[in-house]
Copies of this chain bind each other. A is one copy, B any other.
Amino acid sequence: MSGPTIYDVAREAGVATSTVSRAFSNPNRVGATTRERVFAVAAELGYRPNPHARALLSGRHHTVAMVVSDITNPHYFELIRGAEQRAKASEYTLVLVNVEESPRVEWDQVQRLVPAVDGFVLAASRLPDENLRQVAGQRPVVLISRELPDLASVVLDHVEGCRRVVEHLASLGHRDLVYLAGPRNSWMAATRWSALQAATEENGLTARRIGPFTPKVAQGPAAADGALNAGATAVVAHNDLLAIGVLQRLAQRGVRVPEDVSVVGFDNIFAADLCTPGLTTLGGVHADVGRVAMELLLDAAAPAGRPEEQPRVVLPTELVLRGSTGPVRAP
């Protein structure tokens, strides 16, 4: 089943195993001619270094895990794509874990992987802070869409982004906004809410929050009905999926968007541009988020050891205006 080993190569090439090993891991500590012969023989035999044997000794696996809380959310595709690309560029293997919004599954999976990977990218982790710190004590960790003192993280700038959302709504004459909150243990949900509160206060609007809602299309009806019941003129949904569900429910109930109600989402997923009306949403370059997170992780996992200072990267957002927001209806 498994192929030739350094022993086979060493024998064929008439050298010692250590020489073969060096030829592969430290080419310039081996004589040029020897090296060539070793490579030639290795190629001929189809030799490939066994990563496990290597990992066993070095403790480094050239593998990192990325944990996402809901793989079906299109928003994560871009994150994953960016991270995968970056990992591949450094010849790192990417292990993907979907934890379906469950902190328990997340914890179990992470613990299972601790001995097998060099580090973790945790996207929208649902784990409590103390668990996150525990993991960080075991392996380098980079957080996406979550911040924690002493841990590296990459997030979009929601303070600035939410301000833009609020200013946009204010400029359309809205005086009040209803936030359809995301999951209770979502750091993003808390962050968006407080950013919205701050921005509404600044702009002399009021903000209310209902929820929490699981941020999926299927939760749209409940969220829409709640918003309508609250007499909202402008709703800001936790993400585009929820917003799209809201849009569908409003249409179904004969509520016009944006004439009667304006709707804003977050993430700018592909579908936001396709629904009717198009969804105004706060986007960002998610692939970059994934890429940067992986970059930080690879730095941290590098043999050089990790710096004391854990970087916290904040990337810009962009408010994408589409048809779902418009002037408030006359009172």
Contact = CB atoms under 8 A, between A and B. Distances in A.
Contacts of A113: 93
Nearest to A78: B72
B91 A94 contact: no
Contact of A271 (B91, B112, B270): B270
Given A98-B81, A109-B88, A48 B114 contact: yes
Given A1-B59, A71-B77, A74-B74, A95 B97 contact: no
A307 to B, nearest CB: 16
A319 to B, nearest CB: 21
A7 to B, nearest CB: 15
A3 B115 contact: yes
Nearest to A138: B3
A258 B114 CA distance: 54
A105 to B, nearest CB: 8
A50 B115 contact: yes
Residue among A49, A53, A56, A111 having the largest count of chain B Cβ atoms under 10 Å: A56
Given A80-B71, A115-B50, A95 B96 contact: yes
A35 interface: no
Contact of A52 (B55, B85, B94): B55
Given A51-B115, A71-B84, A96 B98 contact: no
A116 interface: yes
Given A95-B94, A98-B81, A52 B116 contact: yes
B74 A270 contact: yes
A275 interface: yes
Given A48-B114, A84-B96, 7 more contacts: A72-B81, A74-B74, A74-B77, A88-B97, A88-B98, A93-B95, A93-B116
A304 interface: no
A84 B97 contact: yes
A18 interface: no
A276 interface: yes
A244 interface: yes
Contacts of A88: 97-98, 109
A2 interface: yes
A49 B74 CA distance: 35
22 contacts: A2-B115, A48-B114, A48-B115, A51-B115, A51-B116, A52-B56, A52-B61, A56-B56, A74-B77, A80-B96, A81-B98, A84-B97, A88-B97, A88-B98, A93-B95, A93-B113, A93-B116, A95-B95, A95-B96, A96-B96, A274-B274, A276-B276
Nearest to A96: B96
